[in-house]
Amino acid sequence: MAILKVLEILASDKKSWEGAAQSAVKEASKTVRGIRSVNITNQSAVVVKGKITEYRVNCKITFSLDK
């Protein structure tokens, strides 16, 4: 049986929601081993003068704990 933990991260990117998700995983992987999945729970964007300037995601990153 695997023991899993969920870490919630807020991330952003200037180009896309995919980039924001990738940024969240990249940042989490600096300190967390055994990442298994990422679940995007919310997406939003910052709009300035009618244009999207920043894409944001709330991610739940699931990882396994060492035995």
Q: Which domains does the chain have, with CATH numbers?
A: 4-64 (3.30.1660.10)
- Interatomic CA distance for residues 67 and 60, integer angstroms: 22
Confidence of residue 67 (pLDDT cuts 50, 70, 90): low
Tell me the per-residue pLDDT of 13-56, one tens digit each, with 9 for 90 and over: 999 999 999 999 999 999 999 999 999 999 999 999 999 999 99
User: Which pLDDT score is estimated for 66?
Assistant: 76
Q: Which two tokens stand for residue 38?
A: 């990422």
Question: 20 near 55, Cβ under 8 Å?
Answer: yes
The tally of CA atoms less than 13 A away on the side-chain side of residue 16 is: 4
For the cut 70, the answer to whether the pLDDT of residue 8 exceeds it is: yes
